[in-house]
Structure 1
Amino acid sequence: MMKRYLLFLLLLAASSLAQAQKTTSARVIGNIFSDVAGQPLEGAFLLLTPVDKEGEKPQQTIADAEGNFEFTIPSGGKYKLQAQFLGYSPWTGILYFESGKRNAVPTINLPATTMVLDTLEIIGQTVAMEVKEDTTVFMAAAYKTRPEAVAEDLISKLPGIDVDLSGNVTAQGEEVKKVLVDGKPFFGDDPKIALQNLPVEIIEKVEMIDEQSEQARFTGFDDGDRNKVLNIITNKSKQYGKFGKGTLGYGTDNRYTASGSLNLFKGDQRISILGMSNNINEQNFSMQDIMGAIGGGGRGRRGQGGRGGGGGMSSMMDQSQNFLSNNNNGISQTNALGVNYTDKWGKNWDVTASYFFNSKNTVLEQYSFREYILSDMDNQRMDQNSVSESNNVNHRLTARLENKINDRNSILIQPTISFQNYDNIDHWEQVTYLDEGDTLNYSDNESYSDKAGVNFSNSILYRHKFKKDRRTFSVNLTNTAYTSSGLSNDWALTQQIQNGMFVSDTTDQQTESDTRQWGMSANTSYTEPIGKYGMLQLGYNVAYNENNADTYSRAFNYESGEYDEILEQQSNVFESNSLRHRPFTRYQWSNRTVTFATGVAYQMTDMQNSSIYPHSGDYHYQFHNVLPEASFSYRPSRRSRLRITYNTQTSLPSINNLQDIVDMSDPLNVSLGNPELQQEMSNVFRLNYRKFSPENGQFFFANLSATTTQDKISTATWIAQSDTTLADGTQIARGTTITQSVNLDGYFNSRATVSYGFPVEVLRSNLTLTTNGQYTRQVGLTNNVQAYTHNGLIGQSIKLSSNISEDVDFNLSWSTNYYMINNELQANSNNNYFQHSLQLKYRQRFLDRFFIGGTGRLLMYNGLDTGDDPSIFLLSANIGAQVLKNNRGEISLSVYDILNQNQSIARTVSESYIEDTYSTVLTQYAMLTFTYNLSDFRPPKRPRGMPDRDTMRMMMN
């Protein structure tokens, strides 16, 4: 009883304290405008200083795009408010604010001036961030970077944003898939190109946007769907001129690098040219793989089941965690060239277009050890080693053309086309055996493949606003076309146990494949206001897709010396067509604080699958689905927001999984198509909360997501326990692995990320603490037994980013992840282990021109079931000097992997096996590099006799 009473008193005291704090603090809001044209003064600086309050520090903020500003003060009282904006007379006022209330400051109107004014003293750090609607703005000047740094160096310092060693960017726990420059695409949707090529010196601020779709932004109807986008705002003084960088380097083992960029900015017209060539695994772009060809040679390569579904969760020593700044397994030689063009044509057309070419040659050696998870026999294991060489060539062109016809009508056209050529030579050996060491089979394989593909898509969006506010109509037409063709030669020598004896067999075949897909869709939307805060949306979506796959396999004829013996069981002509109708309706209620939306769609899908050769068969399916959705957004202040969304979605199987074919290009790893696959249906829940405090540089965000999937396209795996004959007569030896895609219920995935960051003034750095968790329940069939594999992860990381000066730059981080693997079939396969990582990136300039720097990473593991807990210490360093006028040149000597410890180890966990893979990576080398930075900015000249902007404002006044 006493314990309950004490608990009650503690809760009452906490409640009273919270209430007292709530009623004592006060909000101060206001807006600031130009008195010349009544325009909001975005970026105006405001300083709030307490009067006669000892110990309370002044606060500072900046106005957003609408001229709004906000302070939160610990208690009411008398304050001095000061406002200033370049080119305007400052404003000062003494105001009294009441505790526990929302205090509105009278609108501030600043008069323009041509006089040189004293500036307000900025207390502590420069204002680092501001929040407006779904956008967080970071001021570049508040984050110290070296003068020659690129955008990626700045981005990695921003609160809530992480850049991994491969250049992938996450913002508030979500992947960033697009980076804009002044609101326009830069080389399409490839984030790496912008972040690794644009210099920091041209950046004024960076916007982190929760971007809605084009239709949602136009209609004002929030469907709850968001993508994280970074928008780099360039400094107006840097929008006229030319800038860029050139680098040449040569090192030991014939390592080399050469790269260059040139940017020609002339206001709205901007031309950027990029190029690079190296053999040190560096690339400043994202690879395109429109055919799904990268990562394998022959079909069904390495026992992964070319047509089987099921992915794994890469959980141990993931490749992206390795030391390389742009890590790729193997040794790669890369060549790339790109051009980006942005301009404004006339009064109405905004145009952006880009072309990018890249060619990559990779030599890779791998060793893998796989343990199959079986319930009714001793565990089966497979060891494999391989050597491969691949060439991947890509061309991609993108464009964005927007015509603002008038105030009520606009049209947006976005075409994209990609070309890919891929060839691969692969040799691998495989041994399968039981736990006690008995060998089941052996194979020696060679594969050569040559593939080419073209992928085209285009979107046309027409938008119309009626005279009545919030009444809109839009229609989005899209069409896609894809074609690929390939030729692969597969040779294999297999030794298998049959009737207690080893029997050898040779496979020599050639496979010709041709895939064609095209589709078109139309999405219409009409919105109608209902009252002051309500809105109704009515829409209709229709989509048609047609898919064709032709596959012909032929055996080598030793008499004719040609591949002319058709293998009917491995050949197939298949068609899959689908037609979808989806009418939908949504209702939204929204004010400045709360937005709630709900809707429902009725989807009717007709899927017709047909096998034409070597046998005919029709598979006709109709799916009728009711798809509800809902979203809720609560914004208690401009700087905090809670968003909750729920939606349902469906996905049809791909033609590669549907095609009715037996793939025996790798005789010991056979894959089957499944023309009876059904569509998937998923329920997705997301929760996101964020809060920023620009005055003290603190931020907090939390993300939670959960997905359940019915009829998940997963993998069924059969391990032949005796010599077997398939339904089509194909002979399968004991120990052979057979995979096929199947629909299974029970898949579940959830993720959670919580992050808190704040400046550490004594270190003049920013500290970020992040806790993350993940749980995945995969479902699969193994020898006709359905079972779940549970993969869990709990992790904690600490990141310290310097903000000391341009001469000292470092990033220090520590992370610990605890992995949990549990399979219901085999408890012996369960494994829980730790992964620890310590990483430091450092650079310091001294004696004005000289610098020293380096990167180091310690990677450790504890508890692996392999009996070996590896630790890897990767260390690189460089030293150099800046030369030429204005330090435009730089000479440096760098040594990569000083201790020669670099390696790549990855663990993959699937429904039916656990596999550890060791891959060759780039190791120790030294390189001498020269870099030249071009920076020549020249604002346009005013016609003779024309007054400057400030004088014109005074004249207008």
Structure 2
Amino acid sequence: MRRLHFLSVAALLFSMQVYAQTGRQVTGVVKDSTGATLPWATIKLFTDKDSSVVATNSTGRFTFSSVSVNQFSLVVTSLGYQGVKRRYNLAPNNITAELDPIVLKSDPITLQGVTVTNANAVKIREDTIEYNASAYKVREGAVIEDAIKKMPGLEVSNDGNITAQGKQVNKVRLNGKDYMAGDVKSLTRNLPANLVQNVQVINDYGDQANITGIKIGDPQKVLNINIRKDKNHGYFGQGTVGSGRDAVRETAGIKNGGRYVGATNVFSFQDKRQITISGDVNNTNTSLFTFTGGDRPNVFGPDPKGITTTRSLGFNYRDDWSKKVKVYGSYSLADNSVYTTLKTVQNNISGQLPSVQNSNSTENTQNLNHRFKFNIEYKPDTVNYFKFIPTFSYSGGRTDQNFASRLQAQNIGNTLISDYTRSLLSHTKAPNFGLSALYNHRFRKRGRNFNVLLASGTTRNKQYQNPVYNYLEGNANAPVNQMINTSRRTDSLGLSLSYLEPISKKTYLEFNYQYHNVQTGADRLTDTVAGAGDVNRDPNLSNDYNFNFITNNFTVNYQVIDQKYNFTLGVTAQPTLLKGSSSATAPTHKTIFNFSPVLHYVYNFSDLQALALDYQGASNSPVYYQLQPVIDFSEASYPIQGNADLLPEYNNNFQIRYNKFGDGTGKTFFVNLSFTQTDHKIVANTVTYPRNYKADPRLAGAILTKYQNASGFYNASAYYAFAKPWAKRRYSLFFNGKVTYNNNISYLTDVLDSLGIDQTVQKNIAKNFVLSQGVRFRVDIPEVLDAEASASYSINQSKNSVAHANIDNNFQTITLGTNGNLYFLKNWTLNYNYSKMIYEGFSGSTNPNILNTYLERRFLKNNIGTLRFSVYDVFSENTGFTSTQNAYAITQSSVNRLGRYYLLTITLRLQKFVGRPPRGMPGGPGGGG
């Protein structure tokens, strides 16, 4: 903590030195000839001594916060418009200057297709990194994901997930507004690249921070894609249909059907009104949307991939209903079927009773998801702003699983503990309702501001599970036939108040209060079915549990905003209450008071170089299964029992980010460093029972997971990326690497006698080290070749303080690959994507060669048609191996993936865009409105 205080003071002194300058604030707005404001226009200010650059925000406004001269020039440019130069001579005072609106006229030459060749490929704007889409050439008809793959610091996985500077991007926006509730792939894999002006990666601190400028907490990585000004009006429509078959018609007795795909996307842009309709039906393991859910830990390793049949539909809408009301929202639906086979080897760490489990499972899952989110922005005047966000989501599903497990002791000659099979039928329904409202008031005094954010939500979760066990040998743990009904409801209420008071032209004080209340009530009723079909309630496995988590957060922040930097230093106090009640245990009431500094510092050396520092502290509540005190026996060898006496965690997070782009050279360099230390970390206490345990026969040979608080947990990570293009970006070299170090904690309890009297408890410190390093070389020659060669190496190893023999804790993966497009005979494309995986340390692993390829032909006028023949997994070696390591188990898994198949598809594209409304349309020449 002393180090954090030292860093805060040092940063404050540094910012004070930079702040020692004088000047006035100069603001204005940029519009087009129709009177509409122009966001993202570039404004360059020139004086006799220096220059500076800013951009307009989403409402077309720009601000120079410190102009120290009275005479200066502005050069204003925007893609699709004629640039202007204006000379200003202001009165000699320090009063804020509001310039007359600057009007840009459409540039007919630009609208005909002339591109900017010397534009900076990358820019930095405080917490935003902006990529100029025109600098990353892709072929006609390509989607924006293809351009993103070429942008330094951004990584796109084969399934479409994007990481930015080593951190997952989990939200996407179109022209500054959430698209499809933020679902990333739904936009990046469908939006044509030729419609895009730029791609921005934003460290987003939330709506309140965007209004006040006070940025605290852990920012969310957001991808914002802005449409070109000359594509503001028009439409784009695309449809794809395809059919194929598997190379192997039957595998392991399972008939493989034919492959099929059908997809459509329609984008309609009429300036502020934007409508998108997307649909997809396929059984080729591709998904239009990403939905997540579930709160029970997976003790059998990572989530499987499997073979998926997808049916999805989405609708996105945005419009300005009037000058005062703006709306945007979306609805998405996904109905997916997944078939999965999974093989797992799990080594259970124990001081005296280590064991290994070998398991196999097959699973058929049907998932249904709905998601609705709507945003209403109301601005009745220049000082008041309202935003309302109603939301609804629903997740439901059915799972049929067959599971086989063989658990053996490792230090007693691999003695068998249990051998059983299990069939599982489960149903889940989880509707979620939410509403949030934001109000902001800007006072007459410049900079004085007040806002309030209110959020509420209700989630209901109903689950039915019917695990039926067949014990072959060894111990019989869970009841043979259970019917488990869980009904849970969670109500949440949040309130945030912020008041901003200017001290001077560049300094502010913020007073912030946050209240968060989450209340959960759950009934868990377990019935056992006897051989004769009699159903009996098991009171030892049933419970009625309620808990309440309440936080009050009081914060005072001091902020300095300058053209070069943004600095926030504050202090926060957070009293926290966690209380619970149960029919099985006495009530609990836990109160904790946390106190920590707040630090956010961004220094922009230029629009090509920036440094950022962040520190935050935050409480984290335990979840339901960690608290409820009754044993969950749905997994026979791995029952779970919560601890009602848990304290909430408190995380101390510190991050440093540095970004630099070579002016004119195209070189880019990113580095991110982060460190997290957790007080009262909630960790697992795995209790291993002997095979002859008699006090409770159901626990004989089982490993019961309990939870408790512990000290000593921390993790650190570092990420870097370096890119060097040359020869007008025809050739590019990329290096990227990530290192993660986790000091994991767990408790290992060994019960050594049959009555549980003799026990040993050991604290295990698992030092987990993960290293990955990659290099890529790209060649981009328009209409000739677009190719890449890559190599990566990753290692995942751990060292436990509790000795554990006969266990492999060192996993390594080497990946060699190449992919690209070869363009020939004007309209033909040969695509290939090859990778060679080399696994070390995995049980039973193979080293697959995976090759996907297609041959494509464009046809019809303006190449609106595409015919493609694809072969996936040419060598039929597609397999997946993963490893996970924590302080109580090391798990390696292999999962089925879709094998070799052939697919023939035809795609038709229609599009027409202009920079202004056609004549006769509302808002256009001769039109109404």
Deviation at 1:156, TM superposition (A): 1.3
Structure 1 unaligned regions, length at least 5: 1-29, 49-59, 70-80, 94-108, 294-299, 305-311, 320-327, 950-957
- SS of the residue corresponding to residue 134 of structure 2 reads helix
Match of 2:653 in 1: 684
Q: Do the aligned partners of residues 623 and 211 (structure 1) sit closer, same or farther apart at CA in structure 2, a change above 3 Å counting? A: same
Q: Do the aligned partners of residues 918 and 469 (structure 1) sit closer, same or farther apart at CA in structure 2, a change above 3 Å counting? A: same
1:338 alignment partner, one of 303, 314, 322: 314
Deviation at 1:43, TM superposition (A): 5.9
Match of 1:479 in 2: 456
Q: Do the aligned partners of residues 162 and 714 (structure 1) sit closer, same or farther apart at CA in structure 2, a change above 3 Å counting? A: same
Match of 1:649 in 2: 618
Match of 1:276 in 2: 280
1:491 alignment partner, one of 447, 450, 468: 468
Match of 1:262 in 2: 266
Matches within 5 A, 1:8-19: none
1:771 aligns with 2:737: yes
Q: Do the aligned partners of residues 113 and 401 (structure 1) sit closer, same or farther apart at CA in structure 2, a change above 3 Å counting? A: closer
Q: Deviations over 1:490-526 (max 9, x none)?
A: 111225547xxxx799611211110011021211011
Q: Deviations over 1:761-794 (max 9, x none)?
A: 2871322211221111111111221111111122
Contact 2:458/2:491 (<8 A) preserved: yes
Match of 1:736 in 2: 702
2:191 alignment partner, one of 179, 186, 198: 198
- SS of the residue corresponding to residue 639 of structure 2 reads strand
Letter in 2 for 1:925: Y
For residues 81 and 370 of structure 2, what CA distance do their matches in structure 1 show?
48
2:527 alignment partner, one of 549, 554, 558: 554
Match of 1:955 in 2: none
Deviation at 1:699, TM superposition (A): 1.4
1:523 aligns with 2:496: yes
Letter in 1 for 2:876: N
Q: Do the aligned partners of residues 694 and 257 (structure 1) sit closer, same or farther apart at CA in structure 2, a change above 3 Å counting? A: farther
For residues 305 and 106 of structure 2, what CA distance do their matches in structure 1 show?
60
Match of 1:396 in 2: 371
Deviation at 1:603, TM superposition (A): 1.9
Contact 1:249/1:258 (<8 A) preserved: yes
- SS of the residue corresponding to residue 670 of structure 1 reads coil
1:761 alignment partner, one of 727, 735, 751: 727
Contact 1:820/1:833 (<8 A) preserved: yes
For residues 673 and 144 of structure 1, what CA distance do their matches in structure 2 show?
54
Deviation at 1:693, TM superposition (A): 2.9
Matches within 5 A, 1:367-446: 367-377=343-353, 379-435=354-410, 436-446=413-423
Letter in 2 for 1:490: P
2:880 alignment partner, one of 892, 904, 924: 904
Match of 1:73 in 2: none
For residues 224 and 268 of structure 2, what CA distance do their matches in structure 1 show?
19
Is 808-817 or 545-554 further displaced after alignment?
808-817
- SS of the residue corresponding to residue 414 of structure 2 reads coil
Contact 1:42/1:63 (<8 A) preserved: no
Contact 2:79/2:110 (<8 A) preserved: no
Letter in 2 for 1:857: S
Is 421-430 or 204-213 further displaced after alignment?
204-213
Match of 2:70 in 1: none
Q: Deviations over 1:549-606 (max 9, x none)?
A: 10111111444x35x3110000000111233322221112333334332222222222
- SS of the residue corresponding to residue 280 of structure 1 reads coil
Q: Deviations over 1:707-737 (max 9, x none)?
A: 11122111111221243355xxx42354211
Match of 2:859 in 1: 883
Deviation at 1:536, TM superposition (A): 0.9
Matches within 5 A, 1:939-954: 939-942=916-919
Contact 1:179/1:191 (<8 A) preserved: yes
Match of 1:750 in 2: 716
Matches within 5 A, 1:83-94: 88=82
For residues 821 and 944 of structure 1, what CA distance do their matches in structure 2 show?
65
Contact 2:280/2:312 (<8 A) preserved: yes
Letter in 2 for 1:568: P
Q: Deviations over 1:684-725 (max 9, x none)?
A: 110111112342212111100011112211111122124335
Deviation at 1:208, TM superposition (A): 2.3
1:852 aligns with 2:827: no
1:820 aligns with 2:820: no
1:604 aligns with 2:575: yes
For residues 189 and 920 of structure 1, what CA distance do their matches in structure 2 show?
30
Match of 2:3 in 1: none
- SS of the residue corresponding to residue 640 of structure 2 reads strand
For residues 227 and 920 of structure 1, what CA distance do their matches in structure 2 show?
33
Give TM-score, length-normalised by structure 2.
Answer: 0.84
For residues 666 and 947 of structure 1, what CA distance do their matches in structure 2 show?
65
Deviation at 1:937, TM superposition (A): 2.8
Letter in 2 for 1:229: V
Count of residues in Structure 1 that have an aligned counterpart in Structure 2: 842
Matches within 5 A, 1:189-228: 189-223=182-216, 225-228=218-221
Deviation at 1:608, TM superposition (A): 2.0
Match of 2:515 in 1: 542
For residues 173 and 386 of structure 2, what CA distance do their matches in structure 1 show?
20
Match of 2:553 in 1: 582
1:507 aligns with 2:473: no
Letter in 2 for 1:743: N
Q: Do the aligned partners of residues 525 and 63 (structure 1) sit closer, same or farther apart at CA in structure 2, a change above 3 Å counting? A: closer
Tell me the percent identity. Answer: 25
- SS of the residue corresponding to residue 352 of structure 2 reads coil
- SS of the residue corresponding to residue 674 of structure 1 reads coil
Letter in 2 for 1:603: Q
Contact 1:822/1:830 (<8 A) preserved: no
- SS of the residue corresponding to residue 146 of structure 2 reads helix
- SS of the residue corresponding to residue 732 of structure 1 reads helix
- SS of the residue corresponding to residue 211 of structure 2 reads helix
Q: Do the aligned partners of residues 448 and 533 (structure 1) sit closer, same or farther apart at CA in structure 2, a change above 3 Å counting? A: same
Deviation at 1:34, TM superposition (A): 9.0
Q: Deviations over 1:205-252 (max 9, x none)?
A: 222222232111211223264222222111223222221211111111
Matches within 5 A, 1:69-148: 88=82, 127-148=120-141
Matches within 5 A, 1:354-373: 354-373=330-349
Letter in 2 for 1:632: Y
- SS of the residue corresponding to residue 337 of structure 2 reads strand
Match of 1:105 in 2: none
Match of 2:816 in 1: 838
For residues 898 and 802 of structure 1, what CA distance do their matches in structure 2 show?
24
For residues 116 and 622 of structure 2, what CA distance do their matches in structure 1 show?
59
Contact 1:888/1:932 (<8 A) preserved: yes
Contact 1:33/1:41 (<8 A) preserved: no
Letter in 1 for 2:469: A
Match of 1:251 in 2: 244
Give TM-score, length-normalised by structure 1.
Answer: 0.82
For residues 575 and 746 of structure 1, what CA distance do their matches in structure 2 show?
30
Letter in 2 for 1:696: T
Q: Deviations over 1:3-53 (max 9, x none)?
A: xxxxxxxxxxxxxxxxxxxxxxxxxxx99999999999966799x9xxxxx
2:178 alignment partner, one of 159, 175, 185: 185
Letter in 2 for 1:706: F
Q: Do the aligned partners of residues 654 and 763 (structure 1) sit closer, same or farther apart at CA in structure 2, a change above 3 Å counting? A: closer
Deviation at 1:389, TM superposition (A): 0.7
For residues 113 and 537 of structure 2, what CA distance do their matches in structure 1 show?
83
For residues 349 and 617 of structure 1, what CA distance do their matches in structure 2 show?
52
- SS of the residue corresponding to residue 825 of structure 1 reads coil
Q: Deviations over 1:350-399 (max 9, x none)?
A: 1012110001111111111111222224x311111111111110011011
Deviation at 1:434, TM superposition (A): 2.6
1:454 aligns with 2:431: yes
For residues 387 and 625 of structure 2, what CA distance do their matches in structure 1 show?
33
Is 780-789 or 550-559 further displaced after alignment?
550-559
For residues 480 and 32 of structure 2, what CA distance do their matches in structure 1 show?
83
Match of 2:12 in 1: none
Is 349-358 or 818-827 further displaced after alignment?
818-827
For residues 774 and 214 of structure 1, what CA distance do their matches in structure 2 show?
31
Deviation at 1:754, TM superposition (A): 1.4
Q: Do the aligned partners of residues 33 and 696 (structure 1) sit closer, same or farther apart at CA in structure 2, a change above 3 Å counting? A: farther
